[in-house]
Amino acid sequence: MGIPPASPSVPEAQTERPPPVLFLHIPKTAGTSFIGTLRNTFGQERLTRLTAVDGSTPAEIGRLLNSGDDAPACLVGHIPFHMIAPWRDRCSVFTILRHPVPRVLSLFRFLRMQPDDEQRRLGLAPGFTLDAFLGSRHPELFGQIHDGMTRMLSGDAALYDPDTARFWEKAPSPVILEAALATLRSIDLGIAEDMPGTLELARGAWNIPHPLGIGHENVTNATGAEAAVEDSLRVVARNAMDLVLYQRACEMFAARRAHAARRPGAAAAPARFRPAPGEEVSLGGAPGLQGFHEFETDGFAWLDSEQTARLHFHFAAREARIRLRGYAITADYPVEETRLELNGVPLPAHLLRRKDRWFILETDPVTLAGEAGELVIRPPYFLPVRYLNPTSRDPRSLAIALATITVHG
């Protein structure tokens, strides 16, 4: 069976190790969903999340960058720019901005969904109101409610230190705003309201040879109703710098989209996924995935119902079979009805083995006209987890999960 090569053709990976991507995750800017894209693109085992951000964070970034072959391909976290600045020249920094009104109101809705203990930790009473939220003096909330994007991008450590007077100042500062704008000019950026354009800019900045996709995680959108005018005005009053920052960011974003801006030092493509002939390879650390949830401790990653699952890889052999080992949502799920496509051409596959919910699918022999391969996996349907287990808090719909891939003769 002849399969045409993927288009466009994929260049060989560079021998020099590319600089890692460092995603400066501003809270409530679609960053959680974007991290799923990063995880699939670079490989879960090559992505490091910095969950604790404190005075030791700059040193920890340096340690990770200096860990040789074990250095991550991607670092992510709610990391203010002043902690990144010492390592700026060794990373490809990327961030996403969002209009400050929906960003702050999204944070309010998100915290309203948290357990009572988490709300109390932040000084909020269970069932707290928007007034209580916007008027909070808890440093963790105050810093995000009052020009949170500008604070993170300014490079000013005092804006993250509640023991300083500057942290509590509410008046807009042209100096602080200009510093944040200078940061934006020096890094790659996206806009939450234009995720397709954001993904394209990220793809170009990192030389990704295939389109990027994004799911929807940690979504806290309002249920169809727009925010009340008075609520929006109260957020605006606390975010004058963020409003200007966002407007300028949108202008930069549009200019870069129009001119396909590429600056020197942009990260090279991640290492190509090249499964060796006959070797069963875990997908937990494989780059070039799309449309998968996080790899779980059970040893597999579920396909995402909101995206088409794709594996982008290079064949070491021109003629081979592809074997997928995976796990089904139920013991009687019709795995055999899963449809595969290789570079846009249907690829027959057969259920080779099944034991309980574990299975092996294997394709007919294929002959590639080129090295690059895009394998698309389409399960017959997805089932809501809550349909199968009404007490579950898992909001996903699932079908099959993949654990390993083997390419063999």
Instruction: Give the mean pLDDT of 238-242.
Output: 96
What's the pLDDT band for 9 if we cut at 50, 70, 90? very low
Question: Residue 373 has what pLDDT?
Answer: 83
Yes or no: say if 277 and 317 are a contact pair by the CB < 8 Å rule: yes
Strands 47-49 and 74-77 come out as parallel
Give the span between the Cα atoms of 379 and 280, in whole angstroms: 22
Low-confidence winner among 30-39, 118-127, 205-214 (lowest mean pLDDT): 205-214
Q: Domain spans of the chain? A: 17-259, 281-408
Percent residues over pLDDT 70 in the chain:
89
Percent helix, strand and coil across the chain, each to the nearest 5: 35, 20, 40
Specify the range with the lowest mean pLDDT, choosing from 79-83, 219-223, 336-340: 219-223
Which amino acid, 6?
A
**Which whole number is the average pLDDT over 312-317?**
75
- Residue 347 pLDDT greater than 60, yes or no: yes
pLDDT digits (tens, 9 = 90+) for 363-398: 998 876 556 788 999 999 999 999 999 999 899 999
Q: Which residues lie across from 190 on neighbouring strands?
A: 96
- Written as six digits, the tokens of 5 are 């090569």
Tell me the average pLDDT across 12-32. 79
Q: What pLDDT is recorded for position 2?
A: 46
Residue range 268-302, pLDDT digits in tens: 556 678 888 888 999 888 888 999 999 888 899 99
Counting DSSP H helices and E strands in the chain, the numbers are 14, 20
DSSP state for residue 344 in the 8-state scheme: T
- Look at residue 224 and tell me whether its pLDDT is greater than 50: no
- Can you tell me the mean pLDDT for 18-24? 91
Is 189 strand, coil or helix? strand
Higher per-residue pLDDT: 180 or 262: 180
CA angle, 128 then 141 then 187, to 5°: 140
Q: What is the pLDDT of residue 3?
A: 44
> In CATH, what is the architecture of 17-259?
3-Layer(aba) Sandwich (3.40)
**Of 315, 302, 306, 270, residue with least CA distance to 288:** 270
CA distance 234 to 54: 30
Token pair recorded at residue 335: 């795995």
Domain 281-408: CATH architecture, name and number where available: Sandwich (2.60)
pLDDT tens by residue, 27-76: 999 888 899 899 989 988 889 999 888 889 999 999 999 988 888 999 99
For residue 223, what pLDDT is reported? 39
